[in-house]
Amino acid sequence: MNQTAREAYNAVQRGLNFLRERQLSNGGFSTLTAQAINCTNEEMQVFDYGDKKGTVEEDPYSVFPAAVIGLSLLHAAGFGCTPEILQGITRFLLENRSRFSIWQHFTKKHFLHTIHPSDVDDTALASSFLTQMGIPFPDNRKAILANKTPQRLIYTWFAFRKDLNFHPVYWYYCLQELKSPLKSYFFWKHLECERDDLDAVVNANVLSYIGLNDMTTPIVHWMNQVISDGVEHRCDKWYLKASVVYYFFSRNYHLGFEGLEPMRQTMRERALSSFQDDGSVEGHPLDTALMVCTLLNLHCREDIPSKAIEFLLGQQKPQGSWAKRLLYHGGRKRIMGWGSEELTTGFCVEALFRHAEKRTVDNLNP
């Protein structure tokens, strides 16, 4: 084992210890909600400059962080304290599963849980994690695929629309709105969510969970088109950064789904061009880790700049974490977004462990 791989494993161990310490008693993870007026709050800082204000609040009631961190840590499933963390995430996701194995962004203890619509993204991510953990749960794939457009792309929300949908699970969740019609009305009116939201990364996460078949082939075509047209910055209302889009898109290539070869070379070139002279992407460990993972998913490990790994190792904090930054947003206006040290740390752990693991295996082979 060379020195870089040894340092990477040590960094991964410290990162895992940080995540274990920060994991909530229910197995979930807190995230931070950043809001800004008349500006953006990408670095999640509190500020007040005249009419420009930024606030950051802790949110321990979201499903998404646990599911995403869990999927990253599955790459290091037998390393260090990872098994304990994964077991906690499993317990958390099962406790916050609603009927018919459907999830929403907020946990059952959040005040918006009763009026916030359930969504395909959290459902697909949570289901992917539990499936890879070997945890049985009622099959929700038909309900997800039934929530489709005439072109067989998947809507983001389980919500009332004009499209015909006769699946009973869809109607069960749509009818929940009738319990609080006034609150539901203001939810759709004042937030950027729309009933017919159609998002490319959400569809990519559906593909990762359900796999490639006749029903999901249109998602493959859409992903290729997004990359070909260069519209990754506006293909999804919630994931607004190219690094995030590439990460989730490339997971499907790593899974071996046919038809994604057209996007591979373009994503590779754009990912490589994003690395700066110091090895970072946008000068931050979050985007750097996402791009490293993207290249690993595209089977381009040898293309990863050695300085990128050095940058990640150098950016780790004494407590084992990496800096917070917005990962996903509440809409294209960028008024609200979520991120945390825990989320960044999960991606950094994935990037460093996978890179070091492959290097170690190569060195052991004659």
In angstroms, the CA 250 to CA 258 distance is: 12
Is the Cα dihedral 218, 163, 62, 130 positive or negative?
A: negative
State residue 38's pLDDT score: 87
State residue 366's pLDDT score: 39
pLDDT tens by residue, 77-124 = 999 999 999 999 999 999 999 999 999 999 999 988 888 999 999 999
Nearest residue to 351 via CA among 269, 262, 243, 266 = 243
58 forms bridges with which residues in the sheet?
A: 32
Reported pTM: 0.96
* Exposed/middle/buried for residue 297 (C-beta within 10 Å: 0-12, 13-18, 19+): buried
Residue stretches of the chain with pLDDT short of 70: 359-366
Regarding beta strands 336-339 and 31-37, do their DSSP bridges make them parallel or antiparallel, or are they unpaired? antiparallel
Q: What rounded mean pLDDT belongs to the chain? A: 95
State residue 359's pLDDT score: 61
State residue 39's pLDDT score: 87
State residue 364's pLDDT score: 43
State residue 362's pLDDT score: 53
Is the Cα dihedral 239, 242, 243, 249 positive or negative?
A: positive
Q: How far is CA 258 from CA 207, 221, 284, 296, in A?
A: 12, 11, 33, 18
For the record, the structure tokens of 12 come out as: 């991964």
CB atoms within 10 A of CB 171: 13
